[in-house]
Amino acid sequence: MRIHRNLAVLGALAVLACLAWACAPPLTPEEEVISLRSKYEAELKSFTVTQEPQEGEELGVPDGEAPEHVAEEVAADVVEPPAPRVKSDALLDILVSTTSEERLPGLTVEVQQVGADGKEKAAGLLWVDTSTLGRGSGIQVTHVLEDIDYEAGDGFWVGVRGDVPVSERGKYKEFPAP
């Protein structure tokens, strides 16, 4: 008799738990995006920086103008050509993955360039199409940061921001428009 009573109590508790779950209010579209974003990761696998001198562009010498010290050096016959302007591009190899069964059509990934001193030099957002990304798999993305201010010792970071303030959600395409 006691076993039947315990089973009845367990059955009643299971029914109550199911009712409580079924009666929970559905997530708003923003809450759904927040929940899904928390199941995504972005990881920088590697980066390469290319540097090329730019023809006709010299540091500190606007077109048609020469600094006074250059004229003095010419007169003294000790001329050193100004250093050419160097264009630096960074190629970032990024892996995006998820643990979610549900998919976001795309994900906004944060990208930062950090100086050797650890301070942020530049930051931006990158939209990654995740419509074909399944649970446990990953998408490899190559992103190019063009004409950056790169110095030896700089590094890069990518990630998925956990808590996007309401005031900034308009910059993240996965959030519904207000």
Q: How far is CA 79 from CA 67, 83, 135, 142, 156, in A?
A: 12, 12, 63, 43, 38
104 belongs to a structural domain = yes
Beta bridge partners of 127: 108
Could you tell me if residue 8 is inside a domain? yes
CA distance 90 to 129: 21
Domain that holds residue 158: 2-171
- Tell me whether residue 128 is in a domain: yes
Does 176 reside within a domain?
Answer: no
Do 39 and 98 meet the contact criterion of CB atoms below 8 Å apart? yes
β-bridge pairing 120-129 and 155-159:
unpaired
82 phi/psi in degrees, rounded to 5:
-65, 150
Count of structural domains, the chain: 1
pLDDT at 62: 47
How far apart CA 166 and CA 107 sit, in angstroms, is 17
37 inside domain: yes
Note the pLDDT of residue 13.
52
Residue 177, domain member (yes or no): no
Q: Does residue 17 sit within a domain?
A: yes
Q: For each successive 10 residues of the chain (178 residues), what is the average pLDDT? A: 57 52 75 94 96 67 51 57 82 96 94 96 96 91 94 95 93 90
pLDDT of the residue at 160: 96
